[in-house]
């Protein structure tokens, strides 16, 4: 993960165990980070629709909770904007 020169742009590169690599670019704001996937791969034998666009939003609610929202657009829906796919709330583990 690296930050751009202005400190507001974030670059995240992922190396996945199935040999896919992806990178995401986004903006950082107080307690919030929005990343848009710029390189999307799909395993050829998958029956899922091709993903055309994917966005992940991380929101820090407080010192205990972090929320991740995954939104996407596939080949058939929606034609514009994003459809919410997953919402996860993480709880900080006690020491």
Q: Where are the domains of the chain?
A: 2-91
How many CB atoms within 10 Å of residue 83?
Answer: 10
The model's pTM: 0.73
pLDDT band at 90, cuts 50/70/90?
very high
pLDDT band at 88, cuts 50/70/90?
very high
How many CB atoms within 10 Å of residue 90?
Answer: 13
Dihedral sign for Cα 61, 64, 68, 69, please: negative
Q: With 70 as the cut, is the pLDDT of residue 68 above it? A: yes
Position with higher pLDDT, 88 vs 23: 88
pLDDT at 95: 81
For 45-57, the pLDDT digits (tens) are: 556 677 788 899 9
């Amino acid at each position: 993960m690296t930050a751009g020169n202005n400190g507001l742009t974030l670059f995240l590169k992922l190396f996945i165990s199935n040999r896919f690599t992806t990178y995401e670019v986004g903006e950082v704001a107080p307690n919030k980070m929005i990343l848009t996937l710029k390189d999307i791969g799909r395993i050829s034998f998958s029956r899922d629709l091709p993903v055309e666009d994917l966005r992940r939003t991380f929101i820090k609610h407080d010192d205990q909770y972090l929320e991740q929202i995954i939104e996407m657009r596939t080949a058939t829906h929606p034609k514009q904007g994003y459809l919410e796919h997953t919402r996860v709330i993480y709880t900080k583990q006690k020491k």
